[in-house]
Amino acid sequence: MKPLFVLIGVWLISILVIKLWKSELDYKLSGKIALSVMLLFTALGHFIYAEGMSKMLPHFIPFSMQIIYATAFIEIIAAICIFIPPLRYITGVLLVFFFLAVLPANIFAAVTHLNYETGKYDGPGVDYLWFRIPFQLLLICWTYLSVIK
């Protein structure tokens, strides 16, 4: 839920700052800024909670810690590339695929009641998916509207 608060909070603040700075509303730029900050925030979580996040992957998947670190770097690179015009479109498309690709790990974590922050199996469980799946869809739509379109 924290990434949602970061996304919406940064979006609202950036709308206000851009309005004061440019005297006009620029929802698309605000959307890119918010998505970028949210990606950096979640990448930081991959470093802080790497051990717990590695448990989000089924046990038969090798190199789970390396995958968690790799996804953090993917998020950092994407956060930067959405501001580089020649890379913006492809980054947006790849982000949509990325958001789809990480959804099974979130489902697995919910089904196993994983609390990725502590690495213990006392998390909210399947009820968390009522938030997580719509949030993934929001991220996909957000990426489409602010980066791809």
Is 17 inside any structural domain? no
pTM greater than the 0.85 cutoff: yes
Domain carrying residue 77: 44-148
Is 37 inside any structural domain? no
pLDDT per residue as tens digits for the range 66-99: 999 999 999 999 999 999 999 999 999 999 999 9
Q: How confident is the model at residue 29 (pLDDT cuts 50, 70, 90)?
A: very high
d(CA 46, CA 95): 17
d(CA 52, CA 56): 7
Contacts made by residues 75-84, CB under 8 angstroms, sequence distance 24+:
75/39, 75/40, 75/42, 75/43, 75/46, 76/39, 76/40, 76/43, 78/39, 79/35, 79/36, 79/37, 79/39, 79/40, 79/43, 80/36, 82/32, 82/35, 82/36, 82/147, 83/32, 83/36
For the residues 124-146, what does the mean pLDDT come to? 94
pLDDT in the model for residue 128: 87
For the residues 108-134, what does the mean pLDDT come to? 92
- Tally of domains within the chain: 1
Is 131 inside any structural domain? yes
Is 63 inside any structural domain? yes
